[in-house]
Amino acid sequence: GSCSRNNGGCGKNALCSENRKTSAIKCTCKTGYTNTGSAVHFVCKDSCTIKNGGCGPRAACSHHAKTNAVRCTKKAGHTNTRPASGDIRTVNIPANAEWSQNGGTIAGGNGRWSGTNQLVYSHGLFVDDNQTVVIADYGNCRIVQWKNGDTTNGQVVAGGNGQGNGLNQLSVSTDVLIDKETDSLIICDAGNGRVVRWSRRSGTTQGEVLIDTIGCFGLAMDEQRYLYVSVYGKNEVRRYKLGDNIGTLVAGGSGQGAELNQLNGPTYLFVDQQQNVYVSDSSNHRVMKWKKGAKEGIVVAGGQGAGSALTQLNGPYGLFVDTLGTVYVADQGNQRVIRWTQGAKQSTVIVGGNGQGAGANQFNYPVGLSFDRHGNLYVVDRDNERVQRFFIK
């Protein structure tokens, strides 16, 4: 088959491309459209008709006149409360998307030490609208920022004053996010049992404590700017209004275990626009989804014990959920990143899965995971002391 005949069978609103060597046909949806079919049978629908294009309940979804890209605008009577996590939630990743199998190192990769071009045992990361990557540099007790295009040196933007509990110090930070409203970093300062905030303005030398005495691990923020924190030792997730030190239980909290109302070692989190909470339940080797107000969760990935089969996970960490409800997981014990589509019985490996190692197509414990607004994938490759970027095809 060729693209000249019936658009290669790709259907309406799709682009057809042909591999010159193999003559294989590849279908991709045009800008502003999302594939709601399968990888084989393409059905490209207007992205605005699918979950409001990811714009959220108080916004109107439309298309740019020239490019047809999705545009979110505030509805009359509503202020524009962009998702605190930036445009990232409005990225529609096609159901059949593929990524380059060789990652490029965009941070670290120069051994384990404290230089500005190095990392030590890094954990969580956050990618902003400009593709600046902010990394929880766990072993160096600091947060480092790497601007897009500068892969030689990072900049210390929080901590970096040795391990300690001073307001200018951090002690093993596991996660970080950017609160766009206040242009600040919110950090899980795990070694000090607290969540802290550091302004991103230049000249900032210390942070402030938002929540104290909390065994935090992962962080997430919804578009109403509620902060969600996974509490590893208590096997629960709590939601906080900024400035509130108590919080509300939203997942787990029924002791350590594998029942649907329990968690066992919750690590990273994702919260969607409906305030559904997704949790990497690492020691249960599964990802759980807790609907708003639910008393128990639903297994959306794994849950078949630790293992390397496509039905299994092995110590899941980093987590992301796209607008179609597809779950992406840093399956660290299996040295791979997997995609689990809604309702599927098993996952597909999108990068890695080539054994433990330091090759461009390998990982040595992938822990943190995120996407930029273009759909490129970023992975913290912990024991290789680097962050890898995989371009979407």
Whether residue 163 sits in one domain with residue 28: no
Provide the number of structural domains found in the chain.
Answer: 2
Q: Residue 302 class from Cβ within 10 Å (0-12 exposed, 13-18 middle, 19+ buried)?
A: buried
The yes-or-no verdict on residue 78 having pLDDT over 70 is no
How far is it between the farthest Cα atoms of the chain? 68
The total of other beta-carbon atoms located within 10 Å of residue 165's CB is 12
CB 25 within 8 A of CB 1: yes
Locate tokens 């159901």: which residue? 95
CATH number of the structural domain spanning residue 193:
2.120.10.30
Q: Are residues 71 and 146 in the same domain?
A: no
Establish how many alpha carbons lie within 13 A of residue 120's alpha carbon, considering only the half-sphere containing its beta carbon. Answer: 14
Q: Is residue 258 part of a domain?
A: yes
Amino acid at 219: L
In the chain, the N- to C-terminal Cα span, in Å, equals 22
Are residue 37 and residue 109 in the same domain, yes or no?
no
Within a domain: residue 129?
A: yes
Q: Choose one of 64, 80, 96: the last residue of a domain.
A: 80
Task: Give the number of other CB atoms < 10 A from CB of residue 245.
Answer: 12
Same domain membership, residue 232 and residue 115: yes
| 270 and 338 together in one domain | yes
54 and 110 both lie in a single domain: no
Is the domain of 27 the same as that of 130? Answer: no
Contact 336, 329 (CB under 8 A): no
Is the predicted pLDDT of residue 79 greater than 50, yes or no? no
Which tens digits make up the pLDDT trace of 209-231? 999 999 999 999 998 999 999 99
Domain membership flag for residue 125? yes
Please indicate, yes or no, whether the overall pTM of this predicted structure exceeds 0.95. no
Same domain, 283 and 356: yes
Question: Facing residues of 134 across strands?
Answer: 126, 145
Please give the Cα distance from 261 to 253 (Å, whole number).
8
Domain boundary among 47, 80, 113: 80
86 inside domain: no
Question: Mean pLDDT, to the nearest integer, of 68-85?
Answer: 56
SS3 6: helix
Same domain as 346, residue 201: yes
Say how many C-beta atoms besides its own lie within 10 A of residue 128's C-beta: 21
| Angle at CA of residue 387, ends 381 and 392, nearest 5° | 105
Q: What is the mean pLDDT of residues 6-34?
A: 83
Residue 340 belongs to some domain of the structure: yes
89 lies in some domain: no
Query: Looking at the structure, do residues 309 and 233 belong to the same domain, yes or no?
Result: yes
Residues 70 and 115 in one domain: no
Higher pLDDT, 273 or 86: 273
**Domain limits for position 48:** 6-80
**Residue 328 to residues 198, 276, 349, 368: CA-CA distances in angstroms?**
29, 15, 10, 11
Residue by residue, DSSP assigns 14-56 as EEEEE-TTT--EEEEEPTTEEE-S-SSS--EEEGGGSGGGG--
Cα–Cα distance for residue pair 230/221, rounded to 1 Å: 12
Query: 165 with 212: CB under 8 angstroms?
Result: no
345 in any annotated domain: yes
pLDDT tier at 80 (50, 70, 90 boundaries)?
A: very low
| Per-residue pLDDT band at 344 (split at 50, 70, 90) | very high
Same domain membership, residue 113 and residue 71: no
Can you give the C-alpha Rg of the chain in angstroms? 21
More confident residue, 316 or 7: 316
